[in-house]
Structure 1
């Protein structure tokens, strides 16, 4: 049975995953939320002003009062900077699964940081939330995200063809999942 525990702090070798704070606004703008490439691959709008980011942070921070809300800022321990975000969403109470989404600034990609954060959230989902299954998806054009997903041990489930319409063309959405007894805790 699924247990809602909310967004607790998670620590990994190089990262701290924690609730967003208003002081994260500058790093968010600097590293990812104002980057059209990152935001389009992630499927979110581009934010270019502090006021917009504050409104988004209002939404995130007020949602932390709900025990079924799971969204973390990805904090690089070395610099104490917020370099991205990761969340469990579409949490299904009846079937004990959730979906993960993440984004990380381009300066921090291809360093294993997204994989490290994703594995930590998968473990959190299985150990703390008592999930049976975690699922994840990516746009077919987002090859780096596919590599993160494969490194985490997800199993390909299928493609939703022409799911997104972006820049005048259709893009597929690929789905993957991992079951609790398949997850490698090493």
Structure 2
């Protein structure tokens, strides 16, 4: 099974391997990155390597796909984006992502998520994409809404972090809505 490499205008979405451990650890050990992540910051590089191994296991068992986000111009590892809770049988998954603060507010996550959504809806033939965010994570909510996700409701006590449970928003995007959004963007650009 060959890992699907995706390319967008400015990014390469690649398989995360052991060689990315240092960069992945640097990102997920930052408090500002994990503040709304649903897990505590990583404490050591072996934890990062363990997560990278779990990405590989999830891919091998068709339960998830996680891509490393590489900036095409510089070949720098900027973060990850992926499909969590993937169910090919029931045609659904959840999108997840994180990005190094050096790359915030430059449209990279929106671009990476667009690439993954195209792959998920076209290649994997998924019908539903979910997303779970902290209600306070306005940056992530802005990305989701920009891409056409709709807020479905509040999941009470859904995320556990820093020895405490937190509420979460659940968003979704259906394949037909995504296709309509793409058609509208195509019309607007002509």
Q: Normalization by structure 2: what TM-score?
A: 0.84
- Which residue of 2 is the match for residue 24 of structure 1? 20
**Alpha-carbon distance in structure 2 between the residues aligned to 1:40 and 1:6:** 34
Deviation (angstroms), 1:28: 1.7
2:68 counterpart (69, 73, 91): 73
Q: Structure 2 regions of 5+ residues with no counterpart?
A: 186-190
Deviation (angstroms), 1:12: 0.4
**Alpha-carbon distance in structure 1 between the residues aligned to 2:65 and 2:29:** 22
- Which residue of 2 is the match for residue 106 of structure 1? 101
1:40 counterpart (35, 46, 50): 35
Deviation (angstroms), 1:168: 8.1
- Which residue of 1 is the match for residue 153 of structure 2? 158
- Which residue of 1 is the match for residue 188 of structure 2? none
**Alpha-carbon distance in structure 1 between the residues aligned to 2:155 and 2:54:** 30
**Alpha-carbon distance in structure 2 between the residues aligned to 1:62 and 1:91:** 13
After TM superposition, the structure 1 stretch with the greater mean CA deviation from structure 2, 90-99 or 34-43, is 90-99
User: What is the CA RMSD across the aligned residues, in angstroms?
Assistant: 2.3
1:59 and 2:48 correspond: no
Count the aligned residue pairs: 181
Deviation (angstroms), 1:93: 3.7
C-alpha contact (below 8 Å) 2:38/2:159 kept by paired residues: no
**Alpha-carbon distance in structure 1 between the residues aligned to 2:3 and 2:34:** 23
- Which residue of 2 is the match for residue 15 of structure 1? 11
Matches within 5 A, 1:79-98: 79-98=74-93
Report the 3-state secondary structure (helix = DSSP H, G, I; strand = E; otherwise coil) of the residue aligned with 1:78.
Answer: coil
When residues 91 and 61 of structure 1 are mapped into structure 2, their CA distance, relative to the original with a 3 A threshold, is: closer
Bigger fraction of residues in helix: 2
Deviation (angstroms), 1:49: 2.7
Higher relative contact order (CA closer than 8 Å, sequence separation 6+): 1
Runs ≥4 in structure 1, deviation > 4 angstroms?
Answer: 165-170
When residues 162 and 53 of structure 1 are mapped into structure 2, their CA distance, relative to the original with a 3 A threshold, is: closer
After TM superposition, the structure 1 stretch with the greater mean CA deviation from structure 2, 150-159 or 86-95, is 86-95
When residues 46 and 170 of structure 1 are mapped into structure 2, their CA distance, relative to the original with a 3 A threshold, is: closer
Q: Normalization by structure 1: what TM-score?
A: 0.85
